[in-house]
């Protein structure tokens, strides 16, 4: 089993680390190349490019100015850096060492700047969403830039794990960067719905948290087959066979 999740806009850059060895991002040189492009942009350019406030633009301008001068102590493992709804559900700080070791093999975080991250890859503070229309060399945007690189790496890693099952817990924005054309992967994309006024609907905030809860469930269970999804019962969710379809198991609550 191979699990994909999205990164988060919110970061926790306070000092925290597991006692496990950290790792270096697979596409670090690509991240450095992209950071160098962003470093040449002024705050107003970043604000326009990323559709962010002036304050956030200035913060990220400073981040990219400092990028190549950061010491190892100023970097932090990805799984502990990202903070958002998905990561609240994942609650990585309470995972045991054996859980983190499983995650290091089976869980990957898609990233606009780093491409693909293992949980214990040490990363620099940054902001760059996959949908950002940033030109990188001959490539007109990040989707185009990562299109071939990501699926090649994912396919290689899945082959080494001897699995064909890809659990997609990423957002649509990020999963679009994974070019599945021509592959024979068994992609499973869980759907989470809450009861609202007597009807089951996807509520973004709850669905994001649920994706993190599901990732945690699979990690804790050391899941190697997609059947492990069906036992997910965190925070009131249950598998709903009636609403499910092939490749899209639905979990409902309320």
pLDDT tens readout for residues 74-107: 899 999 999 999 999 999 999 999 999 999 999 9
Look at residue 15 and tell me whether its pLDDT is greater than 80. no
Q: To the nearest whole number, what is the mean pLDDT of the chain?
A: 95
Mean pLDDT of 22-37: 97
Look at residue 71 and tell me whether its pLDDT is greater than 90. no
What Cα–Cα distance (Å) separates residue 254 from each residue in 197, 245, 249? 10, 20, 17
Q: What is the pLDDT of residue 76?
A: 94
Look at residue 16 and tell me whether its pLDDT is greater than 70. no
Distance CA 134, CA 50 (A): 9
Q: Which residues contact 12 (CB under 8 A, 6 or more apart)?
A: 76, 80, 81, 82, 83
Q: Which residues contact 222 (CB under 8 A, 6 or more apart)?
A: 102
Q: What is the pLDDT of residue 41?
A: 97
> Which candidate, 205, 250, 215, 214, places its Cα nearest to that of 235?
214
Mean pLDDT of 196-200: 94
Question: Predicted confidence band at 73 (pLDDT cuts at 50, 70, 90)?
Answer: confident
Question: Predicted confidence band at 17 (pLDDT cuts at 50, 70, 90)?
Answer: low
Question: Predicted confidence band at 19 (pLDDT cuts at 50, 70, 90)?
Answer: confident
Helix (H) or strand (E) holding 104: helix 97-106
């Amino acid at each position: 089993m191979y699990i994909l999740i999205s990164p988060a806009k919110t970061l926790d850059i306070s000092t925290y680390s597991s006692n496990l060895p950290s790792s270096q991002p697979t596409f670090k040189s690509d991240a450095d190349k992209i950071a160098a492009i962003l470093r040449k942009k002024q705050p107003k350019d970043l604000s326009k490019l990323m559709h962010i406030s002036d304050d956030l633009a200035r913060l990220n301008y400073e981040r990219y100015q400092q990028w190549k001068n950061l010491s190892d102590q100023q970097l932090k493992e990805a799984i502990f850096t990202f903070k958002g709804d998905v990561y609240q559900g994942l609650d990585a700080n309470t995972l045991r060492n054996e859980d983190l070791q499983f995650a290091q093999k089976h869980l990957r975080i898609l990233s606009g700047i780093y491409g693909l991250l293992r949980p214990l890859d040490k990363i620099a503070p940054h902001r760059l969403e996959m949908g950002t229309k940033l030109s990188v060399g001959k490539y007109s945007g990040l989707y185009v830039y990562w299109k071939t690189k990501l699926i090649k790496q994912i396919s290689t890693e899945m082959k080494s794990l001897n699995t064909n099952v890809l659990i997609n817990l990423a957002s649509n924005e990020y999963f679009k960067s994974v070019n599945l054309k021509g592959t024979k992967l068994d992609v499973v994309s869980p759907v989470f719905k809450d009861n609202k006024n007597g009807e089951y609907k996807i509520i973004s905030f709850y669905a994001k948290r649920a994706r993190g809860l599901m990732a945690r469930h699979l990690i804790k269970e050391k899941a190697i087959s997609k059947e492990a999804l069906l036992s997910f019962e965190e925070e009131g969710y249950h598998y709903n066979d009636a609403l499910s379809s092939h490749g899209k198991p639905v979990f409902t609550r309320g």
